[in-house]
Amino acid sequence: MRTLGVGGATIDTVLETDEVVVGGTLRGEVRVKGGASDQDIRGVTIEIVTRCLVETRSDNRVHAEIILASGTIELGRVTAGEELAAPLEIDIDPAAPISIGTTTSFVRTRVNVPGAVDPTDKDPVRLLPTPAMLAVISGLEQAGFALTETEVEHNPRRANPFVQEFDFRPRGFNDFGIDEVEISFQPIRGGVEVLLTVDNRGGFFTMGRERSARFQIRDADRSDIVAQLRAAISSLR
């Protein structure tokens, strides 16, 4: 990451990697080097931020930034020329939105310096899916559907504050009559629960309808996922 200058001192956030699987821990360290004179730095805050499409209370859809997790390192007085390094560990929620489609994430560093504008810096970080999540997304693509959009429902009052929705549209004529297939994930021990919704088009004599089903996929057992998805979609048509 780029070094932040705060008066005479410099602060650098260095990560072990810029990728982390959701449910894992982002690790690194904050490096501080004092300038020509002593300086007070109250703290350094590291935030994991996701920029995504969200639905508002008025049913509008807008791009917004959501803070997924944060941690603060207290510093205090940094003497001239002093070099410090503090370890950094931030746990990523298992339900955090993954970096796919229009959903992106970054690490933002904020420095609290008395009497100065709070300098900030941000650098991209990728939040990766678990093996079970990746198997479902890849399985839908292999089954003939293309990812068209991702959207995040964010409600901090819920036990699971993040719900990321993935919208797929059929690529072939075999799925004529299906307007869209939508999936979302709920973390469970050792895998995910999948909510799969099929949006069927209406015709001249029929109304369009949505039908949903839930099933579980384990990280350790992802065999025949394409066939399982195909069977679920067919049962909801």
The pLDDT of residue 200 is: 83
pLDDT tens, the chain, 237 aa long: 444 455 577 888 889 999 999 999 999 998 888 888 888 888 888 999 999 888 766 767 788 899 999 888 888 888 888 888 889 899 999 999 999 988 999 999 888 877 655 567 788 899 999 999 999 999 999 999 999 999 888 877 777 788 899 999 999 877 778 899 999 999 999 999 999 999 986 544 445 578 999 999 988 777 789 999 999 998 887
- Separation of CA 103 from chain center: 7
Three-state secondary structure of the chain: CCCEEECCEEEEEEECCCEEECCCEEEEEEEEECCCCCEEEEEEEEEEEEEEEEECCCCCEEEEEEEEEEEEEEEEEECCCCEEEEEEEEECCCCCCCCECCEEEEEEEEEECCCCCCCEEEEEEEEECCHHHHHHHHHHHHCCEEEEEEEEEECCCCCCCEEEEEEEEECCHHHCCEEEEEEEEEEECCEEEEEEEEEECCCCCCCCEEEEEEEEEECCECCCHHHHHHHHHHHCC
> Distance between alpha carbon 23 and the CA centroid of its chain, in Å?
10
Place of tokens 């297939």: 181
Determine phi and psi for 5, rounding to 5 degrees: -95, 130
pLDDT tens, residue by residue, 97-148 = 999 988 999 999 888 877 655 567 788 899 999 999 999 999 999 999 999 9
Q: Give pLDDT, residue 61.
A: 78
Close Cβ partners of 227 (under 8 Å, ≥ 6 residues apart): none
- Give me the pLDDT at residue 106, please: 93
Task: Give the global pTM.
Answer: 0.85
Check residue 209 and give its pLDDT.
76
Nearest to 42 by CA among 83, 11, 16, 1: 11
Q: What whole-number distance in Å separates Cα of residue 117 and Cα of residue 106?
A: 21
Report pLDDT for 214: 94
Between the alpha carbon of residue 151 and those of residues 2, 64, 167, the distances in Å are 30, 11, 8
Question: What pLDDT score does 1 carry?
Answer: 42
